[in-house]
Amino acid sequence: MYRLKKKHLVSVLSFMLMLILVVPLKANPGGFTDDELKGFANAVVQVISIQQQGQAQMISKIEEEDMTVQRFNEINMQAQEMPFEEIDMTEKEADSFVMLLGEIEQIQIDLEEVLISTIEDAGISIEKYEEIMTEYQQNPELQQRVQELMR
């Protein structure tokens, strides 16, 4: 009987040791440091705001040309699938679309520069930001940890 208790105690101690080794891994989902996650959290908040501003700029440009976003997207989708001349659109729509493509491309270039600068100013590299974002999108534990750091 004494041996059974001793075996049981060894099993319990082994189990506790295993828990001690596993728990720190759970506390740091994704293996990122708190500083990396804080930088990511700070960057995400700013990135979302900047992307919304950029989207609003693009919508405004489209609407200034008396075109709806939906119509612009329809023409854009068709332009990717067939020769431009075959797209069913008016001459005014064609002129507006071509002009808008250049303007929207420039907004996107400017936006990318601002986003890169914003992420780096948050103290995180673009590569690390993308790595964390990829893991964040797939890992609920990491999502929870980042949300805790954002508070």
Distance CA 39, CA 116 (A): 13
37 and 21 share a domain?
no
Instruction: Let me know whether 24 and 56 are in one domain.
Output: no
CB contact at 8 A, 29 and 141: yes
**Digit-coded pLDDT (tens) for 75-129:** 999 999 999 999 999 999 999 999 999 999 999 999 999 999 999 999 999 999 9
- List pLDDT tens digits, range 6-35: 444 344 444 444 444 444 444 566 789 989
Query: Do residue 59 and residue 108 come from a single domain?
Result: yes
67 and 22 in one domain? no
Domain count, the chain: 2
Q: Decide if pLDDT at 1 tops 90.
A: no
For residues 52 and 89, membership in a common domain is answered with yes
Of 26, 43, 30, 24, the C-alpha closest to 136 is 30
pLDDT of residue 31: 85
144 and 116, same structural domain? yes
Residues 79 and 130 in one domain: yes
Q: Within this chain, do residues 4 and 63 fall inside the same structural domain, yes or no?
A: no
Are 25 and 37 found together in one domain? Answer: no
Between CA 1 and CA 3 the distance in angstroms is 5
pTM of the model: 0.71
Same domain, 18 and 83: no
pLDDT digit string (tens) for 57-80? 999 999 999 999 999 999 999 999
Provide the domain limits for residue 9: 1-30
